[in-house]
Amino acid sequence: MSSVTTLKKNMSTFSLMMTGVTSIVGSGWLLATQKITAVAGPAGILAWVVGMFVAILIAFFCIEIGTVNPSAGGVGYYSGITHGRFSGFITQWVNWLSILAVPAVEAQAIVQYLSKVSLWCHGWYYVDENILSPTGIIVAIGFMILFMGVNYFGSKLFTRFNNTLTIIKIVVPVLTILFLLSSGFHLDNFGHSAHEFVPYGWSAVGSAVISCGVVMSFNGFQLPLNFSEEIKDPKRQLPIAIIGSILFTFVLYVALQAVFIGSISPDKIVNGWHGINYRSPYVDLLLAANFQVMAWAVMSTSVVAPAACGAAFVASASRMTYALSRVNLLPKFLGKLNSKYAVPRASILVNFALGSIFLFMFKGWTQLVAVISVLHIFSYLSMPVVVVAYRAQQVANLSKIDNFRLPFAPFFAVLVMFVLSLLLFFGAWPSIGYMSILLIPGLMFFFYYEHKNNGTKDMWQLIKSGSWLLYFTFGITLICYLGNNKDHNLIDLSTSLILLLLLSLTSFAYGVLSPIKNPDLN
């Protein structure tokens, strides 16, 4: 008799939280702090505050529905519960793309830092252009093979690898903070007035959140959700793991951002912050302070931190394609688990191959981070709508369940929709255009497999329930093109903000009022 292989429920709360921490503390601490400082100056610290605020609000919505409906599919799966297969697939497609690209961006960070090691390695990274060389891309692919290998032999090997490296990658940033503080902290770098603290305006802070790695870093909070089928008590374990990982890493990132700003020699910023462009930021600062041993420790961690993060996102992406295959929206071979190690090996291999393509499309860390962040933000959009709609659908059933519920959920839902719309707007054109284009292959996959599996009889109902996402996509793309286009803005900022508010309110109402009526279409 053949038996069905299922995901094993062998992940502890500590290991679950470590997947969140290690996913948040990736290349962000190595490179994001420098980019944020160059874009927003000392006010870059506030970018982490905004990022934490958004991450916690989204996390609360995820926890509420995730404890009742644990799934390896994560955010996209939850969208399908209330709005059907079309909405669920589109959300999960975008979320999968954003996670698929993370191992590539972590590999880029490793290569950039290692290019400091010797003159021979310098050729891996073009510092003036902020991109990898052809040789650097090949080296980055080698690191992606490492990320894949860690996941190929089961979740137990992954969690052991992850727990060990996470502890290392936390200790080194903390020591970096202490060493740089002891070398001399230039408090005057933060300015003596509001203008000096916010030299490029508040819009620069918003741009830093979306384009400099803040969103990408905090997005790691959702990885515990993708392992929710591999834990025994989602109600208890998910809140601890998700909120704990966000708060811990927030404190770490704010400290790193502050010490980076305060450690820069004042003569480096006489002409402003835009010129800050170190090849290996913390290594360069530590070497300037004559902390050579610590600099080499950071150099070593520049491999460890992104490697642990890259491996975690390979695990997450493979589980998402596995989940989509199980509901017949991707090829069946992606949904098969290895009988010995209980991992979706085919999904791991396919995600590695597709993720490598991003290295050729976006050759620099900054370029790829901007696109990933826009995809992350878009994938969050469904959560506030889903939770409010799910409460309305399941009033009788939820009254019997003792699960976490976010107080004042409708108010926070509208607030989150507006904040996410604002962040997408700051993502600017053409990043929003890239996101819209990347939706097209997803739509083609959905229509092909939906027609193959179910014909056309339910197609209109599915599209109707998920059409609020298409409405929002069209609206945000148009507003960004008209109001935040580097080539030409046809409307001013005030008009753009009004349009964003209207888009948020109408999209929320549209989504909440159009859930799927037939549960068989979920």
The answer for residues whose C-beta is within 8 angstroms of residue 474's C-beta and 6 or more apart is none
Tell me the pLDDT tens digit for each residue of 182-234: 888 899 999 889 889 999 988 899 889 988 889 988 988 877 876 766 677 77
CB atoms within 10 A of CB 86: 28
For residue 280, give every residue at least 6 positions away whose Cβ sits within 8 Å of its Cβ, in sequence order, or none.
30, 112, 113, 115, 116, 298, 299, 302
**Domains in the chain: ranges and CATH:** 13-414 (1.20.1740.10)
Residue 485 main-chain phi, psi, to 5 deg: -110, 120
A 10 A CB-CB count for 455 gives 9
Q: Residue 169: which residues within 8 A CB-CB, separation 6 or more?
A: 22, 25, 301, 304, 305, 308
Which residue in 194, 390, 174, 407 sits closest to 297, CA to CA? 174
Distance CA 204, CA 493 (A): 13
Three-class secondary structure of residue 329 per DSSP: coil
| 45-83 tens-digit pLDDT | 999 999 999 999 999 998 888 777 766 556 667 888 888
* pLDDT tops 80 at residue 519: no
| Per-residue confidence (pLDDT) for residue 1, from 0 to 100 | 41
Is residue 349 within 8 Å of 17, Cβ to Cβ? no
Burial class (CB in 10 A: 0-12, 13-18, 19+), 146: middle
Instruction: Give the pLDDT band (50/70/90) at residue 472.
Output: very high
Structure tokens at 193: 């007035």
Q: Are 349 and 315 in contact (CB under 8 A)?
A: no
Task: For 225-246, give the DSSP string.
Answer: HHTGGG-S-HHHHHHHHHHHHH
Per-residue confidence at 325, pLDDT binned at 50, 70, 90? confident
Q: How does the average pLDDT of the chain come out, rounded? A: 85
Amino acid at 285: L
Q: Which residue, among 321, 274, 377, 307, has the nearest Cα to 165 in the 3D structure?
A: 307
**What is the spatial distance between Cα 6 and Cα 510, in angstroms, rounded to a whole number?**
37
Q: How confident is the model at residue 435 (pLDDT cuts 50, 70, 90)?
A: confident
212, 257 Cβ separation under 8 angstroms: no
Q: What is the mean pLDDT of residues 257-271?
A: 91
Lowest model confidence (mean pLDDT) among 116-125, 344-353, 467-476 = 116-125
Spatial separation of the C-alpha atoms in residues 462 and 457, rounded to whole Å: 10
pLDDT of residue 5: 53
Distance CA 310, CA 148 (A): 9
Q: Could you tell me the two tokens for 63? A: 């926890």
State which amino acid sits at residue 246. I
Is 114 or 413 the better-scoring residue by pLDDT? Answer: 413
State the pTM of this model: 0.84
SS3 171: helix
Structure token pair of residue 16: 């679950």
* pLDDT confidence bin for 138, thresholds 50/70/90: very high
